[in-house]
Homo-oligomer: A and B are copies of this chain.
Amino acid sequence: MIDYTAFISAAHDVLGPRGFTCDADLIDPWLTDWRGRYTGKAIGMASPQSTEQVSQLVRLCAQHGVNIVPQGGNSGMSGGATPDASGTAIILSLRQLNDISPIDPNARQVTCGAGVILQSLHTEAEQHDLRFPLTLGGKGSATIGGLISTNAGGTQVLRHGTMREQVAGIEAVMADGQIYNSLTPLKKDNRGFDLKQLLIGSEGTLGIVTAATLFLSPRIGGRTVLWVGLPKVQNARDLLIMCKDMCGDGLEGFEILPDHCLSAVLDYLPSARNPLSDRHRWYALIEIVAGTDNAEALNDLAESVLAKALESSLIEDGTYSANETQAEAFWLLRDSISPAERAIGPAMQHDISVPVSRMADFIADTVPRVENAFPGTAALAFGHLGDGNVHYHVLAPKGAIGGVWEEEEGKQISIFVHDCVTEWNGSISAEHGIGQMKRDELGRLGDPAALSILRSVKNALDPQGLLNPGKLIPAEPT
């Protein structure tokens, strides 16, 4: 039996009265994930001020057998930072670890506490004429620790990679309270397998990230955004290859959407305009950047891309942003798809990937299969074609009632979509992680060898199973 009273008293001793609270008013906002899908209970909430305090607290939890749910900005997409309903865990908030070390512009690196908010890092980097390239919708709340623990993606992955590629070094507290520190980053270090790679994407199940050293990129000089209409999704693949050849490293983004998504956005945003004079079956948004602010050269490149794409019949029409306002307007169309679809009615959302070269074919193959299997639904795939990652939404038939439909037909739809993805050698989680939402599906569909390695490493590094229980690692088969 766990002596919670003794644990709470000891936690107060370690963290002080403000560093550990059992006050329901303070804890409640953090017991539900931001999308409102999961709600749990907690013994209390710890808010340590230093890595040393995290270490002491984790030792205490190990002594008492208390579960730990690490939490950053609570803006995850898969319920990975929400405790379960048993009330046997504490929430460990990393939000107080929000120091940003002075930036060394020559090394192009910065060291951040796990609680630093992404937007703050963007601002800090800009002040040194540098850039932290990873960005995503939740940048105003997402923390560096959470981004690392979920290996977050976003819209700039095509050129800059996921969070994994931004990480030079990590500091983390392991399940026994030991502090692992690789914050002094070495470009080359072959003292065995790379331990920081284990922590990236482990969703707090192997250790608790407390700080990281991150790479910074040179500032962007200028950008232009192209908006083109395509007759069929398969053309997007060839267009992507053409853009890579013509733009090289300057190609920052390549997103696609079907006409249904554009319709929904134009209905949802009264001020929005279709960038082209006609409608097309598919659209691609293509961002090209340059290191120097040479608008003319960028415009010339955009013109060449459009001319060649039209000439080779890959696109039916296209335009490019005349200025930054128009570039923002094109991106707004893309970024408004999710809320616009939500306004139409209930939908099942899937964050999936297949090999980049196969994504267009995957969409063309599976959309009619899903719609045939579930009459009245509409399957819409949009997003990061350049990464082989789309958000695959299936809209409920007209008149379906949200919660009920999701629990019944919706669940069957997700199983169907995940089966299709698995058949195409894809991933049921491209960038949102597993959390509690997809844990059973990972157990059902994951490669047995991979699941066995996941479980073995988890048991080795967290033998008591106290770190973020019920997340990511599928239960052992019975």
Contact = CB atoms under 8 A, between A and B. Distances in A.
Contacts of A84: none
Contacts of A202: 192-193
Interface in A188-202: 188-195, 197-202
Interface in A215-256: 218, 241, 248-249
B187 A193 contact: no
Contacts of A453: 174, 180, 195, 198, 461
Contacts of A249: 249
Given A192-B202, A193-B198, A389-B188, A181 B447 contact: yes
A449 B180 contact: yes
Contacts of A151: 190, 194
Contacts of A447: 180-181
Interface residues of A, number: 76
Interface stretch (A120-128, A406-414, A421-429): A421-429
B106 A192 contact: no
A113 to B, nearest CB: 19
A178 B452 contact: yes
A442 interface: yes
Contacts of A189: 353, 427, 429-430
A168 to B, nearest CB: 10
B201 A190 contact: yes
Contacts of A194: 151, 164, 197, 200-201
Interface of A: 104, 106-107, 150-151, 153, 157, 162, 164, 174, 176, 178-182, 184-195, 197-203, 206, 218, 241, 248-249, 291, 353-357, 384, 387-389, 425-434, 442, 446-450, 452-454, 456-457, 459-461, 472-473
Given A178-B448, A184-B355, A185-B355, 20 more contacts: A106-B357, A151-B190, A157-B187, A164-B194, A180-B447, A180-B453, A186-B427, A186-B430, A188-B384, A190-B429, A190-B431, A190-B433, A192-B203, A192-B434, A193-B198, A193-B454, A194-B200, A197-B197, A456-B460, A460-B460
